[in-house]
Structure 1
Amino acid sequence: MFAMEDTWAESQGEGVTVAVVDTGVDASHPDLTGQVLEGKDFTGGGNAQADEQGHGTGMASLIAAHGHGPNGASGMMGLAPKAKVLPLRTIQDKGDKFLDETWSAAVRYAVDHGAKVINLSFSQDGGKTANVGREAIAYAQAHDVLVVAGAGNDGSVAVDEPAALPGVVSVGSVDKDGNRWVGSNHGKGLTLVAPGVDILAANKKRAQGYSLSTGTSDSTALVSATAALVRAKYPDLTAGQVVNRLIKSASFLGHKGLEAPDDEYGYGIIRPYKAVTMDIPKGPKEGPLGKLQLSSDASSKAGSPAAGDDDSSTRAKKKSSSSSRLLLIGGIAGVVVIGGIVFAVVRSRNKRGNGGGPYGGQGGGPGGSGPQNTNYAPHPAGPTSHGPSSPNPYQQP
């Protein structure tokens, strides 16, 4: 598994706020108490600290869960246990439409309320991001906020938007052996991969408060958490320079002969410890992925601070060209009995295909010998086609 004890000696995400644009976050979960800010509900339901579906709570726990009980010895730990979570609820029920107008308003709110990382564990429903969504992404980039999004769960050779947009960190999934999960979208524009199969997460909808899930949602949250660790450790770095560290510290592990960016693994599997400890030059302020370029008129809207105060009910009056779907839930595989601290990343079962997995063995922790990526190229343009999508955002792959 990730060498988190060593990583936490360097950084725990302190002082960094990660916005979770999702179904809300259950602030009463014992592993999240004190970590969840008030946030905002964009659905008209009123409370961003409520979560009827459990998806947003799971993502928040992978980022910032801190365990509970004496000395935090019970429950689970996220990768950045001292980061704060800003919950932004953009969907309540399974049947709700997840519109660009809604999530884009949440992105702008996140920027205006101090988030340094924005987690988008959702993808476009087989289409392109509407102008209002692109403007919101550009607004975040213009204000030095890192945006992380899931590549999609269709197994398609096409990264979904908004992950495919320039400057967005697009995330795919690997299994316990470090191999691409079969349902993970891939292709040009993929930035990084992270564990995404049988991942432990908080879920108060289950009797014991935890469950296992599979999907690029989970991988996205782990990358957002790693970005929070880097931003806490190196507060002087721009968002682009944080991406540079994530890319340079990633590894293909046992996959030999790959050249970054690879269509299946991007620049490699994240390594949180290496991301906060490697000697990596800052690089250009813009970073390796560039930024989303808009027309001059759209750019002026994207850069307007007043736009961030826009409520979703106002934006919803504008014509919508697309809707989105949450990336989960490759299924809740079962409830896990917790004994002592259980880290957010599921432990390897010591099956080492292709020379090593992301949780141990070659390159897995401090002193690991796995190869690292030392070069990068500009972020490719997003794909023009997408794989099949389900009208139900919670349908299992």
Structure 2
Amino acid sequence: MLLPLLRRSAARFMLVCWGALLCTLVPGQLRAQLQVSPESAAKTVMTGRMVFKLRAAPASPSPSLIGSPALEAALSRIGARNVRAKFPHSRPPGPDQPGAVNLGLVFQAELPPDYPVEEACRALRKTGAVEYAEPLYSYPVLHQPTDPFADSTRTDGQYYLKNIRAYRAWDITKGDTSVVIGIVDGGTRLTHEDLASQIQVNRQDPLDGIDNDQDGYVDNYHGWDFADHDNDPTREPGSVHGILVAGCAAAAPNNGKGIAGVGYHCRFLPLKIYPSTATGSFGGYEAIVYAADHGCQVINLSWGGVGGRSQFEQDVITYAAVNHDAVVVAAAGNTPAELDFYPASYDHVVSVATLQPSDERSPNATFSRRVDLSAPGINILTTLGNTDSDYYPVGGSSFAAPLVAGAAALLRTHFPQYTAAQIAAQLRRTTDNINRLPGNVAYAGRIGTGRLNVLRALTETTQHAARVVARETSPTRPAYAPGDTVRLAATVQNLLSPVTNLTVTLTSLSPYLTVRQGTFSVGALTTLEQRGNAAAPFRLAVAASVPLNTRAVLRYHLTDAATGYEEDQYETLLLHPDYVVLDAGDLRLTLTSRGNIGYDGLGSDVGEGVSYRGGAPLLAEGGLLVATSAARVSDNVRNDRRGANQDFYALARAHRLLQPLRADQEAYAALQDSLPTLTKGRSVGVRVRQRAYAWTAAPHRDYVVLEYHLTNLTPDTLASLRVGLYMDWDLPGEPGRNVAAWDATRRLGYLYDPVDATSYAGVQHVAGGQATVYSIDNQAPAGQPVRLADGFSSAEKFLTLSSGTSQPTAGLPHGTDASQVVGATLPALAPADSAVVVFAVLAAPSLPQLQAAAVAAAMRYQQVLPVRAPASKPQVALYPNPTTGQVQLTFPAGNTTVSLLSTLGQVLLTRTVPDGRSTQLDLHSLPAGVYLVRVSSAAGTTTHRVVRQP
């Protein structure tokens, strides 16, 4: 069907994300078009869809596009539909492209409207068949707060062309129409006098309703709209950001009209990524792939946001920069803070910060070690696009970036033999140093190498530039704990003129990360030659006192004394995350500060999961449950409100002990819930000290011991305390085909795949209280006592803890999506008294090995980690409390004296109970208030508070 190029009605829906434009200094009408709230500078998760990348290509021949039964089953369980290759026309990397990516392994799936995206991602990651599963994000264009003096500071000329030496640069080269800049933004105006002749059209696919060039896009003659999925890249009336950006990079020169873009004769390809309809959605990363596939040698991204790194997005950038050798340029942001801003902070991106006309940093410019260079970004006169002949000065990193993109296009014309990495290096190495200007001194090293100088970039052909192009840490972790030692292997590539004696010196800018071996003598490198130090890597040490969630910056200082070359490059490591990993043996287990195991709650990516021998994650969700009744349950696992409880809070953050005494690795954390009086009786009121132990030697490599010391913080005796671990296991292979079982002899609950029984995982009750187990069919139909399809209520949790061993199995005989609660029932716990419950988390490739590990765990705990007996006190229960009159007391058998006292110590009643176990006190005759009950026996004396209500 023909998709006509029609201008859309201004009345159509416009997304709020137009607001975070990387522009400022815009008065009147333009300001009204661009102004939004600062909060929109953050990226947002797109609902109803997700993206994932296969670990390997499907076997040939494969019965399905995906080729993984486990992954197919997981997609079916979450209700995914329209599963398809995300980039079906992407080209696989060639054998001579190290570091390239295969986007053919990336798929997209649509989800039910109310299905949590992160929960779906976790379900796919559990299969072990995907390299990653992530949400898709929407990024705003970048907005900077409007300067109140904007109306009086408009300039009528392009001062910035003089600042960056563009006029003289055009004497060297004026670019070429064969070099195309992809403007991935908000669309364009096809008829503007300074843009119409500069648009790169696709003459192989004219407007005839046929995909003539067979690239998957019908009539993509003028570009494409990736937000509304049609061939109309024109912007919505009033939304001019993409036009402003295009003018900076590629406005037509020598036409006697308006302005000249830095790229001069170079053309641009308009790719619209913001929707004009209510059904459209952000399409930035899809447009990057299109630009790369359709020959754009430079791609400009004047949008972005904070919010963390995405591997999918990095893959797309790598595909454009490495697979297709495109120079990717991005705006560094307009948040006046030091932060990572994406996509500018991804690898293979030239990140551009904003300068004032004086070459000093703009007051609202983002700064960071990831910035490559700076360019003018204030009062940038450019094409406006409300008419075919209008222009206006605007500001922000949205307009600094396309100046660099235009310069990159000139360099690609002048140096056709240069790779994209060499073009980026030439731009960085030929800037003018502006660090000593008054407004820049405080930001040296965080606004890049200097201000763009296009003339120097085109004429200085003997520059030296090397780059750390690959890094690998060992052990490989997303974060490192206090006391960890790290080896870092780096690969260095020389990008420009040969060097004769290159040295890389690694230093830490953080007091919490020490470089113990930080020199890499690279030696001589020819142009584009690489060399690594894997044989003698850098060595780092994390301080014992590092604060929680510290980001430590490392600096690579590259020097060549023979040529005078020196340059810095930076990297960041996360230290002391809010969890601890025990990996002394074959079982690798994450313990959080709030009682969770594997990850810090349902749908969280905080944590490194539970795995065995480096395999796929074994556990979807796990955590501590503590309860005294169906109404009083404390935990931080999933609930029945489509979320997770937040009952426990950290008293002491989870950390590894630097000098373990009883195991090869020991960890400690302390947590607590609230007192029941503060939660209307919904919590238990306990403090929990959790300890973890792991060993390196067989036969102790297959388990981690978890020891919980629980203290009663309430003024009342906890008559019956239930403690357990909820574990939603999803074993490799087919996580929806597991059986949950119980080994009563070893008090061991475990799961396995009945069809392919090569992985076993479970929890053993080692010590403390009476063992319990409850196996759960996660797919149980309505009407079952525990049904996780509609959540996990407090009543259901208490049922799993209080049913003894009446529910030992689930999923027999063919398997299901199963989980299990292994617990213990403790006797009465008096106020301020403590009790200990001990579990072992285990994994093994066979049931006999799992059982052997359980036996070893029990013996090791008895021999090395004995339970400390509580102080000898009578175990007393007093209820109901508060009371309106009658109070029932129970206590161990033996001669016992019970006394009732006022809060002033006056004895109101004394009773001796010879060799009894209980008695009653009648408080009807006493006024309302607080009283003390003292219980004395041969085992000791305890005092309890009781409240007499009216």
Aligned-partner residue type, residue 242 of structure 1: I
CA contact (8 A) 1:290 1:379 kept: no
* Residue among 206, 209, 225 paired with 2:406: 225
Q: Which residue number corresponds to residue 393 of structure 2? A: 212
Residues 138 and 204 (structure 1), Cα distance of their counterparts in 2 relative to 1, 3 Å cut: same
Query: Hey, which of these two has a bigger chunk of strand by percent?
Result: 2
Counterpart Cα distance in 2 of 1:145 and 1:225: 13
- Partner residue in 2 for 1:12: 174
* Conserved 8 A contact 2:197-2:252: no
User: Per-residue CA shift, 1:302-343, capped at 9, x if unaligned?
Assistant: xxxxxxxxxxxxxxxxxxxxxxxxxxxxxxxxxxxxxxxxxx
**1:277 counterpart residue number:** 459
Question: In 1, distance between residues paired with 2:281 and 2:436?
Answer: 37
Structure 1 equivalent of residue 265 of structure 2: 82
- The answer to whether the 8 Å contact 2:464/2:565 transfers is no
Secondary structure of 1:185's aligned partner: coil
1:348 paired residue number: none
Residue 644 of structure 2 is matched in structure 1 by none
Amino acid in the other structure paired with 1:136? V
CA distance, structure 1, for counterparts of residue 471 and residue 241 of structure 2: 28
Partner AA of 1:123 in structure 2 = G
- Which of 140, 160, 163 is the equivalent residue of 2:320? 140
Aligned residue runs from structure 1 range 376-391, under 5 A: 376-381=567-572
Counterpart residue number, 2:422: 241
TM, length-normalised to structure 2: 0.29
CA distance in 1, matches of 2:410, 2:446: 25
- Inter-partner Cα distance in structure 1 for 2:369 and 2:446: 9
SS at the partner of 2:289? helix
Structure 2 distance, partners of 1:228, 1:382, is 34
Structure 2 residue aligned with 1:50: 234
Aligned pair partner of 1:40 in 224, 230, 240:
224
Q: Tell me the CA shift for residue 247 of structure 1.
A: 1.0
**CA offset digits 1:2-60 (Å, max 9, x no partner):** 43332112122212111011011212110112211221110126344412211111111
Whether the aligned pair in 2 keeps the contact of 1:54 and 1:205 (CA below 8 Å) is yes
The Cα of 1:289 is off from its aligned counterpart by 6.7
State the 1:196 CA deviation: 0.3
Q: TM (normalized to structure 1)?
A: 0.68
**Structure 2 CA distance, aligned partners of 1:290 and 1:89?**
32
Indicate conservation of the 8 Å contact 1:166/1:381, yes or no. Answer: no
The aligned runs of 1:193-208 (5 Å cut-off) are 193-205=374-386
Residue 297 of structure 1 is matched in structure 2 by none
Residue deviations 1:51-70 (CA, integer Å, cap 9, x gap): 22111111111111114xxx
Q: Superposed, which structure 2 residues align to 1:76-225 within 5 Å?
A: 76-93=259-276, 99=282, 102-124=283-305, 126-142=306-322, 143-205=324-386, 209-225=390-406
Aligned 1:350-361 pairs, distance under 5 A = none
Hey, what's the Cα distance between the residues in 2 that align with 1:30 and 1:49?
17
Structure 2 Cα separation of the partners of residues 383 and 206 of structure 1: 50
Match of residue 185 from structure 2: 22
Instruction: Name the amino acid aligned to 2:247.
Output: S
Q: Aligned-pair distance for 1:264?
A: 3.8
1:10 counterpart letter in structure 2: I
1:3 pairs with 165, 169, 179, which one? 165
- SS in structure 2 opposite 1:110? helix
CA–CA distance in structure 2, aligned partners of residues 181 and 92 of structure 1: 30
Distance apart, 1:89 and its partner CA: 0.6
Instruction: Flag structure 1 segments of 5+ consecutive residues without an equivalent.
Output: 294-372, 385-397
Q: Pick closer, same or farther for the CA change 1:250–1:50 going to 2, 3 Å.
A: same
1:290 aligned onto 2:472: no
Instruction: For 2:227 and 2:471, locate their aligned partners in 1 and report how far apart those are by CA, in whole Å.
Output: 27
TM-superposed CA distance for 1:383, in Å, is 9.5
CA shift for structure 1 position 291? 6.8
Identical columns (%): 27
- Residue identity in the other structure for 1:21: V
SS of residue paired to 1:240: helix
Q: Which runs of no fewer than 5 residues in structure 2 stay unpaired? A: 1-161, 201-221, 473-563, 576-950
CA distance in 2, matches of 1:135, 1:170: 17
* Local SS of the residue matching 1:127: coil
**SS of residue in 1 equivalent to 2:258:** strand
Counterpart CA distance in 1 for 2:394 and 2:574 is: 27
What do the CA deviations read for 1:61-113 (whole angstroms, capped 9, x no partner)? 1111114xxx52221001012111011111035999864xx211111111110
Deviation at 1:262, TM superposition (A): 3.2
Question: CA separation of 1:282/1:11 partners in 2, compared to 1, >3 Å: closer, same or farther?
Answer: farther
Contact 1:48–1:87 under 8 Å retained in 2: no
**1:320 matched to which residue of 2?**
none
Cα distance in 2 for partners of 1:160, 1:217 equals 13
C-alpha displacement of 1:234: 0.2
